[in-house]
Amino acid sequence: MKLKCLFLLLLLGISFCVHAQKRPVILEKQLEIIRKEPDNGDALKFLCQYYLNKGDYSKTITYAEIMKNVADKTKNPLLQLYSYIYQAQAQMMSGREKIAKKNLNLSLELATKLNNDSTLCSVYGSLGLYSANIETDYYRAIRWLYKGIQLAQQNNFQQQYALLLGNLANIYYLKKDTAGIKYALECYELGHSMRNPYIIYSGAVNSAYMYFLMKQNEEAMKYIHEAETLMLENDFYDQAHTYNLFGNILYDMGEYAQALEYYKKAMKDKQAAQTSSIVYAHLGYARILMQQNKQLEAILLLKQGIAISYARVNAIHRNELYENLSTCYEQLHQYHDALKYYKIFRLENDSLFNKDKERDLSEMRFKYDSERQENLIKQSKLDVMQKEQRIQQQTFILIIIVIVLGLLYYLYHRKNKLYLSIVKQNQEAIKRETELNRRIKELETNAPSMVSTSEKYASSSLTDEKSLELFRTLERIMREEKIYKDNFITKDKVAEILGTNRTYLSRIINEQSKLSFTHYVNRFRIEEAIRLLSDPNNETPLKAISTELGFNSISTFYNLFQSSVGMTPSQYRNKVMELQKEQ
């Protein structure tokens, strides 16, 4: 017996599974079946799905537990798997995250054991939902969803494939990444080809979100109007999600009064909406109140949203609530509270950042453990001679790996020492240069003033001595006046400053420095960048440094710095901080 229609919750506001229509006749029929046949697995699955669609998680869990008892009694592992999935999803959406994770792990283990690809697609999607809603780990959510999508493609599970695409598009929206538009539109087109109202709705909502993110509000309105029509015709669950999007688009268009009405509609849907939708409705409403200088009312709404977020264990949008709460207090000149909530906002964001840093390593470990376990299972089926041969091969490979890893570590350590050495040399050179410049200035103050540059070099011909003197003057104004910081600097401008012409200027720079004009200017820019980055107390952002030094793009700055120094500006700054800590 295969799972017929177990789909995933579209993350953060789209209802779970197929369209959640009001079906009292069908519902009564299934309840009647249960009264006559309490162990009827199909009727129990229908009831779990129906109440999950309607947001009645208590009844979903009740029938899922009955299903588990029936599965144990009849020794039906597939029915047991369904019970785990339904319980996990209902527990997740009702804020019982720990027991939900336990049931998700049980469902993953059992679905893998049964080799049931249909249920495995649903489990992968549910794990993606958990990662996004509970852990606010969007990267991991995407990984789970891709697993489900690949499996659905391999088995031609069109409906599950389409819904997973909708999930994926929603995660891309949360990451503010417009690349998700292709997944949303594919979901939308598949819905029309299958004539499935819910999948069309899913694709339309996510397409609207993507176009909203791309600032194409007219296109977004076209899709959201279609989604609203389908939602009302079919009584889809979590209508607050759609109303929030209406509010967002209208807010962005400056139609605050209309946007406010949609946020109010979303807030009325508390019992039948997902937590993230209700939280966002509070956020959207509060933003409009802030526009109207009603900060006290906005603060009340934001705190209500935060309370709901914690009560239902859903961290999505929580950081935005804290950020806007801090802004409200700042606008009221209550700076103590503004700072308090801003710190909480930063902690929320830093938490997400730290998760991003650890993610790749965790995935590599998981993959390694899985592959190692598979190898052990395969080895157990081989005879003694094959085992010995495999052990010898593995030992040889392990030795190679150890050698390679050792070599890589040695090269890394050597490169790190080289980087630190470069930084030390630069810092020492900067100190010496600073001291020399100080002494030169002392000597110059006591020396007679030189002849005006413009008078001296107005002549059309230059002797070697004059060329050298002109180059020294150029070097001086480069270092003292730092004219290289002008990102529109040209040979004509510099020639005018020196009282000569561009042809002589180019010739002198080439003769004295063996560089073109552009390379000559960039040399000073890179030297100044090294000076700035060598100071451990300098926290100026790299983009700001790039602009200040006259570079037209940060990529040009990065490429020239790495070409000159041997490492990127960010690597250089990290090594400076590392040296600082050692001292």
> What mean pLDDT do residues 144-148 have?
90
For the question of whether the overall pTM of this predicted structure is more than 0.75, the answer is no
The answer to whether residues 466 and 540 belong to one domain is yes
Report if residue 498 sits inside a domain: yes
The answer to whether residues 11 and 153 belong to one domain is yes
pLDDT higher than threshold 70 for residue 430: yes
The answer to whether residues 11 and 138 belong to one domain is yes
CA distances from 278 to 242, 295, 360 (A): 11, 20, 32
Average pLDDT, the chain: 81
The answer to whether residues 126 and 254 belong to one domain is no
3-class DSSP state of 583:
coil
The answer to whether residues 175 and 51 belong to one domain is yes
- What share of the chain has pLDDT > 90, as a percent? 24
**H helices within 41-180, ranges in order?**
41-53, 57-74, 77-93, 97-114, 117-133, 138-155, 158-174
Report if residue 449 sits inside a domain: no
Q: How many domains in the chain?
A: 3
451: confidence class by pLDDT, cuts 50, 70, 90: very low
Report if residue 123 sits inside a domain: yes
The answer to whether residues 185 and 252 belong to one domain is no
The answer to whether residues 251 and 168 belong to one domain is no
547: confidence class by pLDDT, cuts 50, 70, 90: very high
pLDDT digits (tens, 9 = 90+) for 256-289: 888 888 888 878 766 556 777 788 888 888 888 8
The answer to whether residues 199 and 258 belong to one domain is no
> What mean pLDDT do residues 477-495 have?
91
Q: Give the domain range for residue 339.
A: 238-361
pLDDT higher than threshold 70 for residue 378: no
The answer to whether residues 184 and 42 belong to one domain is yes
CATH of the domain at 489: 1.10.10.60
62: confidence class by pLDDT, cuts 50, 70, 90: very high
pLDDT higher than threshold 90 for residue 544: yes
380: confidence class by pLDDT, cuts 50, 70, 90: low
pLDDT higher than threshold 70 for residue 479: yes
Give the Cα separation of 364 and 371 in Å (integer): 11
Give the Cα separation of 278 and 517 in Å (integer): 61
Q: Considering 324, 340, 361, which residue would you say is the last residue of a domain? A: 361
Give the Cα separation of 214 and 180 in Å (integer): 11
23: confidence class by pLDDT, cuts 50, 70, 90: low
436: confidence class by pLDDT, cuts 50, 70, 90: low
Report if residue 390 sits inside a domain: no
Q: Considering 309, 329, 361, which residue would you say is the last residue of a domain? A: 361
The answer to whether residues 181 and 272 belong to one domain is no
Contact between residue 277 and residue 305 where contact means Cβ atoms under 8 Å apart? no
The answer to whether residues 63 and 192 belong to one domain is yes
The pLDDT, as a whole number, for residue 474 is 92
CATH of the domain at 26: 1.25.40.10
Report if residue 452 sits inside a domain: no
The residue type at 453? T
Report if residue 1 sits inside a domain: yes
Tokens of 45: 């699955």
440: confidence class by pLDDT, cuts 50, 70, 90: low
122 compared with 411, residue with greater pLDDT:
122
The answer to whether residues 166 and 66 belong to one domain is yes
370: confidence class by pLDDT, cuts 50, 70, 90: very low
469 compared with 389, residue with greater pLDDT:
469
352: confidence class by pLDDT, cuts 50, 70, 90: low
> What mean pLDDT do residues 528-555 have?
91
Q: Considering 317, 345, 361, which residue would you say is the last residue of a domain? A: 361
402: confidence class by pLDDT, cuts 50, 70, 90: confident
Report if residue 348 sits inside a domain: yes
Report if residue 405 sits inside a domain: no
